[in-house]
């Protein structure tokens, strides 16, 4: 079983969405964690956009990366440039991967336009998570 950490700035949107999809696609092949350099709480719009795709992340919590210092991660995936630049050193053999996704929390416009931006980012993350599992968690 692999240990995977998804790291973002605030652990409120992108890393939460990625955690949800990685858990969904990986099943029992991995234990998935997400954290932030800071904690901003799980964004209600992230919960809603995942619910629309049938994945419940309402029970997720916003965690600081320091909480996981003692876990031997196999992969650390940063999902924003800020997290990549400020990612703490993990004394593990973790393979570090990076994919910068737009921050849907910064979306502007009407409620409908904002949710459309959340949906677009969700779809990018879903594809990334599916590909990651297919490429890195083969039987």
Q: Which of 14, 23, 122, 126 is catalytic?
A: 14
Domain parsing of the chain, residue ranges: 2-136
The pLDDT tens digits of the residues spanning 44-98 come to 999 999 999 999 999 999 999 889 988 999 999 989 876 666 665 555 688 989 9
Assess contact for 130 and 99: CB atoms under 8 A.
no
Q: What is the pLDDT of residue 81?
A: 72
127 burial level (CB within 10 Å; 0-12, 13-18, 19+)? exposed
| Known active-site residue 130 | no
Q: What is the pLDDT of residue 61?
A: 95
Burial 27-56 (b: 16+ CB within 10 A, else e): eebbbbbbbbbbbeebbebbbebbeeeebe
- Give the CATH number of domain 2-136: 3.40.50.2300
| Known active-site residue 74 | no
Q: What is the pLDDT of residue 139?
A: 66
| Known active-site residue 8 | yes
* Residue with the larger pLDDT of the pair 124 and 40: 124
Q: Which of 28, 70, 111, 139 is catalytic?
A: 111
């Amino acid at each position: 079983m692999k240990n995977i950490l998804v790291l973002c700035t605030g652990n409120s949107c992108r890393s939460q969405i990625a955690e949800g999809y990685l858990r969904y696609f990986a099943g029992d092949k991995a234990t998935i964690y997400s954290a932030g350099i800071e904690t901003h709480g799980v964004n209600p719009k992230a919960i809603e956009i995942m619910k629309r795709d049938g994945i419940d992340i309402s029970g997720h919590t916003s965690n600081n990366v320091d909480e996981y210092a003692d876990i031997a991660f196999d992969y650390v995936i940063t999902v924003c440039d800020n997290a990549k630049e400020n990612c703490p050193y993990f004394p593990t053999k973790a393979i570090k991967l990076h994919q910068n996704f737009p921050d849907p929390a910064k979306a502007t416009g009407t409620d409908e336009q904002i949710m459309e931006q959340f949906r677009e980012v969700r779809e990018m993350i879903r594809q990334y998570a599916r590909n990651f599992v297919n490429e890195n968690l083969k039987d």
